[in-house]
Amino acid sequence: MTGEEAARHREKMQKRKAVQDAEVAGKTIEKGLLMVHTGAGKGKSTAAFGLALRMLGRGRSVGVVQFIKGAWSTGERTPLEAMPGLEWHSMGEGFTWETQDRERDVAAARRAWGKALELMQRPGLGLLVLDELCIALRYEYLPVEEVVAALVARPPALHVVVTGRNAPPALTEAADLVTEMKLIKHHFAAGVKAQEGIEF
Amino acid sequence: MTGEEAARHREKMQKRKAVQDAEVAGKTIEKGLLMVHTGAGKGKSTAAFGLALRMLGRGRSVGVVQFIKGAWSTGERTPLEAMPGLEWHSMGEGFTWETQDRERDVAAARRAWGKALELMQRPGLGLLVLDELCIALRYEYLPVEEVVAALVARPPALHVVVTGRNAPPALTEAADLVTEMKLIKHHFAAGVKAQEGIEF
Residue type, A138: R
Q: Using an 8 Å CB-CB cutoff, list chain A residues near B83.
A: 79
Pick from A53, A75, A197: which is nearest to B49 by CB? A53
Helix axes A3-25, B102-120, angle to 10 degrees: 80
Which pLDDT value is given to residue A71? 41
Give the chain B residue whose CA is nearest to the CA of A53.
B76
Pick from A26, A99, A176: which is nearest to B187 by CB? A176
Task: Collect the ranges in chain B with pLDDT lower than 70.
Answer: 70-73, 94-96
The ipTM assigned to this model is 0.87
DSSP annotation of A67:
S
Using alpha carbons, select from B77, B30, B72, B63 the residue that is nearest to residue B162: B63
Taking the C-alpha atoms of residue A89 and residue A83, their distance in angstroms, rounded to an integer, is: 15
Q: How much of chain A exceeds pLDDT 70, in percent?
A: 96
Q: Do A193 and B43 make contact, defined as CB atoms within 8 angstroms?
A: no
Q: Using an 8 Å CB-CB cutoff, list chain B residues near A30.
A: 192-193, 195
Q: What are phi and psi of A130, to 5 degrees?
A: -110, 85
Give the chain B residue whose CA is nearest to the CA of A32.
B195
Q: Which residues pair with B29 in a beta bridge?
A: A192
Give the chain B residue whose CA is nearest to the CA of A41.
B179
The beta-strand segments (E) located in chain A are 34-38, 61-66, 86-90, 125-131, 159-163, 177-185
- pLDDT over threshold 70, residue A116: yes
Give the chain B residue whose CA is nearest to the CA of A195.
B30
Q: What are phi and psi of A198, to 5 degrees?
A: -110, -65
Q: Which of the listed ranges A72-76, A145-149, B101-105 does the model predict with the highest average pLDDT?
A: A145-149
Question: In 10 A of CB B172, how many CB atoms?
Answer: 19
Which pLDDT value is given to residue A185? 93
Q: Using an 8 Å CB-CB cutoff, list chain A residues near B195.
A: 30, 33, 159
| Structure confidence by residue, pLDDT tens digits, B27-58 | 888 999 999 999 999 999 999 999 999 999 99
- pLDDT over threshold 70, residue A26: yes
Residue type, A52: A
Q: Do B75 and A98 make contact, defined as CB atoms within 8 angstroms?
A: no
The beta-strand segments (E) located in B103-189 are 125-131, 159-163, 177-185
Q: Which residues pair with A175 in a beta bridge?
A: none
H-assigned helices in A29-143: 44-57, 77-81, 96-99, 102-120, 133-138
Min Cα distance A44 → chain B (Å) is 8
A146 Cβ partners below 8 Å, 6+ apart? none
